[in-house]
Amino acid sequence: MLKLMRIVGLVGILTCLTLGPAQAQEIGVVRSEILILDSERLLTETLLGQRLTADLQAERDKLIARNRKIETELEAEEQALTDLRSQKSPEEFRALADSFDTKVQEIRRDSERAARDLERNRELAPVQFMRMAEPVLVQVMQEAGGSVILERRGVLLSSDAINITDLAIVRINKEIGDGLPRNPTEDTDPSQTSE
């Protein structure tokens, strides 16, 4: 009988230990000084991160389309210049060819600058994202009684109970959305507006 009571007690303790963190997550913020966050998921699964990524993709697509258009125009201009060769003196043709070459070099420098700007924007996007999300993350950390939030990829082993990624995604989506200014009429309940 004593042995049975010990087993029942042990099962009860184990049940409390296994349910504790899971129940804490369901209720809201887990209580822990150390919290874990998957910033990659935060960037890909929040409305804000998705918008920033889509903006970068649109900027990239626009640059590619611009470069293709310029390439087509330059090819046509080069062909027209080649066709003029027989109609111009060597000196006149050389002046036209040099002018065309200068134009091509300038366009190439502009395209390289635009590509560098796009790459810099791509590298800064996660930093921009984290700056915008920081107030929400600080709030979650304070609610959890946390002292530090560690990046999940830098942690060798941890309990899922201290991973605040899902909660952070929900909070960022709710409090920041896609990061664009909200139209005040969107927040108004249409059933409460007077006609």
pLDDT tens per residue across span 50-101 = 999 999 999 999 999 999 999 999 999 999 999 988 898 989 989 999 999 9
- What mean pLDDT is predicted for residues 37-61? 95
- Say if 115 falls within a structural domain: yes
For residue 184, being part of any structural domain is answered with: no
- Is residue 62 a part of any domain in this protein? yes
Structural tokens at position 32: 């822990």
Q: Other CB atoms closer than 10 Å to residue 50's CB: what's the count?
A: 14
> Cβ distance 78 to 100 under 8 Å?
yes
Inside any domain, residue 16: no
Residue 47: give the domain boundaries: 29-179
pLDDT band at 185 (very low <50, low <70, confident <90, very high): low
What element of type H or E holds 34?
strand 34-37
Mean pLDDT score, 165-190: 81
Write phi, then psi, for 37 (nearest 5 degrees).
Answer: -140, 135
Number of domains comprising the chain: 1
pLDDT value, residue 55: 95
Does residue 188 lie in a domain region? no
Whether 21 maps to a domain, the answer reads no
Name the pLDDT band for 16 (thresholds 50, 70, 90). very low
In a domain, 13, yes or no: no
**Mean pLDDT confidence for 184-194:** 51
pLDDT at 54: 96
The pTM of the full predicted model, rounded to 2 decimals, is 0.69
Q: For residue 3, with 0-12 CB atoms within 10 Å meaning exposed, 13-18 middle and 19 or more buried, which class applies?
A: exposed
1 is a domain residue: no
